[in-house]
Structure 1
Amino acid sequence: MAVLFGGRSSEHAVSCVTAAGVLQAIDTTKYDVVPIGIAKNGQWSLVSANPAEWSLRAATLPEVPVSEESVVLSSQDGSRELVAHAAGSLPRSLGRVDVVLPLLHGPFGEDGTLQGLLEMADVRYVGAGVLASAVGMDKHYMKVVFEAAGLTVGPYEVITARQWLRDPQACLDRAGALDFPLFVKPARAGSSMGITRVTDPADLPAAIEAARLHDPKVVVEAGITGREIEVAVLQGRGTEDPRTSQPGEVAVQDGGHEWYDFEAKYVDGAAAELSCPADLPADVSARVRSLAGTAFDSVGGEGLSRVDFFYTPDGQLIINEINTMPGFTPISMYPQMWAKSGLPYSELIDELISLALDRKTGLR
């Protein structure tokens, strides 16, 4: 099996750290692991399987280097072969790939593009398919799908590149009409990249430009007063419904983090605390798990997802987002919630690989 990580997106380092966790936990007596890193320029290469190479070292972000030898996935029908190429050398085979574990976050990895490539190569892979990955990556269309499925979403506005360039004031007027604080986000990025919390309308243009550095399409969301509740979802076997973990609650600790930002998620292990199961009434716990399953099904989810909600003081459960490839870092919430629900990390990885091997490529 190939473990694929790195990538061209701004979440390159997060992907590497996720891979470090998986490489540390995966059963190498059961799986012949081929670690493939994708450099920021898009080059695929064979890289070290040593987790220490890809973990955070003194808060230094890891990066897949450009290599003299590139790896390609054979385009021959049914081959599924990884082939290494270097200038002045004959190509060498790295073997046939039965399944890919794509630990990529953000565009060119989590957004359906890589999934489409693997479908065309007839290679099984862990996680969501093309459509679910694309919808789950785009916070705009994600909300449209959720609303169509009867889920409650918070107030928001979408600012496209054309709208911003043609009439920025009209965009500011629409966004400024939402209740502050606002969260200004790139529509197709994750791991809190490019997100700004805005409390003053005067800061809104700069926040939009900061988000546009990651994506020309921007989503502006009204701040919601409520507890942050997360549910880990795992695809059911055969015709079974999706499986859901006990709900977890994220509490950002004092120490300079106003909200659950990148540093709190990936760098500062003491910045956030997960309570799982969350202290919720039994009926609310059951309801949020059911809604998480609905969200998973609404986008056509497969494999895994983490679904995030706000539980408001008046008892509403407002869906925030679905993440079709949640982080697997040592402090990531998805594996923690499953561990606290009785499915340890290594067994979770096993189950995800097994689900992928049982699933055919193509239309399903």
Structure 2
Amino acid sequence: MKQRVALLFGGKSTEHQVSLQSVRSIYDSIDKENYDILLIGISKDGEWNLYDHLDTCLVNSHCPDSIELKKSGKTIALVLGEKGGQFLELQSGKSLGKIDVLFPLVHGALGEDGSMQGLFRVANIPFVGSSVLASAVSMDKDFTKRLLRDAGLKVANSMTFTKNKKGTINFKEVKDVLGTPMFIKPANQGSSVGISKVVSEEEFYKGIDIAFSYDSKIIVEESIVGREIECAVLGNDEPIASLPGEIVTQNSFYSYKAKYMDEKGTKLIIPAELEDTVTQEIKTKAIKAFKALQCEGLARVDFFLTKDNDLIINEINTLPGFTKQSMYPKLWEVSGIKYHELINKLISLAIERHQN
């Protein structure tokens, strides 16, 4: 008997288009002989829509910078009851029936920050990826750093500011601590959204304004000179790590555009050209970070590797992209797990976690 898997995509965050690219790739590759697929798209204004086929909901589906989600005219709602929750089609009142696994592909705020995961927990529906705590703390760069430091892992030096203290932020004081160049980031954004690399005082205050336009908390971080290395982690209680990959970008840093739109601006070296001892250290520390944040299912751990072979964790992404340019599935492919097999494993891990 086929399992029913709901692909949930879109969303209200700035990473809406990334999500649409991810669902395109997964829908094309998922084993439809073993899974019945439900397609649930969330519009930018937060409306949940039901679709019969992916081609009916995506416009410009193969163009990353112009891909769009159409509304279907079939809106749905999650209704909570005694034994959990079920989805209902609002126009007809008809239940969508049992969903064996939800596969969330809603990147960014309200998708991978624990909000949606809490909803699924309350509804008692199995879902792919980390649960509430890991999703929330991994999304917040400030708390991620605190927990990783406590676990004995190295992170870049940084300073945290909240919007109500914006008027007290002083360029010279921050520069004295972190030096230049420095990076200014919203605390709760992914895909390099809202990030500025700054050197001058003018750039600094402009970067502060940009970051605060996305979040009420920001971090200012020292610049680390090193190779950008990423490692994929897969599993629940006994996670495994992939071979690492390296990102070489022609831009000043690995920006949103470089990740999802400009294929020529970035080179992915998979696997990364590293000594065996360094490769093993990366894998070990990726798993240690995964466990420190209590992640489950999947995550991508991003490192800087300095010329002295020092490993500094940049961030952890609990719902990494699954686009054709995305590192997470590419890393597993060179590590021996093909794309469709990876999807199967993630679904199995979701069911295993839910049963436990």
Q: TM-score range by the shorter chain?
A: over 0.9
Displacement of 1:68: 3.8
Corresponding position of 1:7: 11
Corresponding position of 1:18: 22
Corresponding position of 1:355: 349
Letter of the 2:248 counterpart: A
* 1:27 lines up with 2:27 in the alignment: no
Q: Which of 135, 145, 148 pairs up with 1:146?
A: 148
Displacement of 1:316: 0.7
Displacement of 1:157: 0.9
Would the alpha carbon gap of residues 3 and 124 (structure 1) be closer, same or farther in structure 2, given more than 3 Å must change?
same
* Cα pair 1:17 1:55 within 8 Å, conserved: no
Distance in 2 between residues matched to 1:141 and 1:291, nearest whole Å = 18
* Cα pair 1:85 1:91 within 8 Å, conserved: yes
Taking structure 2 as the reference length, the TM-score comes to: 0.94
CA RMSD in angstroms, aligned pairs only = 1.7
User: Within 5 A, what are the aligned runs for 1:123-162?
Assistant: 123-162=125-164
Taking structure 1 as the reference length, the TM-score comes to: 0.92
* 1:71 lines up with 2:76 in the alignment: yes
Distance in 2 between residues matched to 1:68 and 1:58, nearest whole Å = 24
Distance in 1 between residues matched to 2:25 and 2:275, nearest whole Å = 33
Deviations 1:194-219 (A, max 9, x none): 11111223210110111111112111
Distance in 2 between residues matched to 1:29 and 1:80, nearest whole Å = 27
Deviations 1:23-79 (A, max 9, x none): 111111111110100111211111353269266544543233445432112211235
Would the alpha carbon gap of residues 339 and 296 (structure 1) be closer, same or farther in structure 2, given more than 3 Å must change?
same
Corresponding position of 1:47: 51
SS in 2 for 1:251: strand
Tell me, which stretches of 5 or more residues in structure 2 are unaligned?
A: none
Would the alpha carbon gap of residues 359 and 187 (structure 1) be closer, same or farther in structure 2, given more than 3 Å must change?
same
Corresponding position of 1:179: 179
Letter of the 2:6 counterpart: A
SS in 2 for 1:101: strand
* Cα pair 2:129 2:297 within 8 Å, conserved: yes
User: Within 5 A, what are the aligned runs for 1:138-287?
Assistant: 138-165=140-167, 167-169=168-170, 172-177=171-176, 178-236=178-236, 239=237, 241-253=238-250, 257-287=251-281
Would the alpha carbon gap of residues 68 and 174 (structure 1) be closer, same or farther in structure 2, given more than 3 Å must change?
farther
Distance in 2 between residues matched to 1:174 and 1:56, nearest whole Å = 47
* Cα pair 1:69 1:84 within 8 Å, conserved: yes
Letter of the 1:147 counterpart: R
* 1:342 lines up with 2:336 in the alignment: yes
Displacement of 1:135: 0.6
Distance in 1 between residues matched to 2:52 and 2:144, nearest whole Å = 36
Distance in 1 between residues matched to 2:216 and 2:53, nearest whole Å = 36
* Cα pair 1:126 1:352 within 8 Å, conserved: yes
SS in 1 for 2:179: coil
Displacement of 1:269: 1.9
Matched residue count: 350
* Cα pair 2:101 2:125 within 8 Å, conserved: yes
Distance in 2 between residues matched to 1:337 and 1:46, nearest whole Å = 32
Distance in 1 between residues matched to 2:235 and 2:312, nearest whole Å = 22
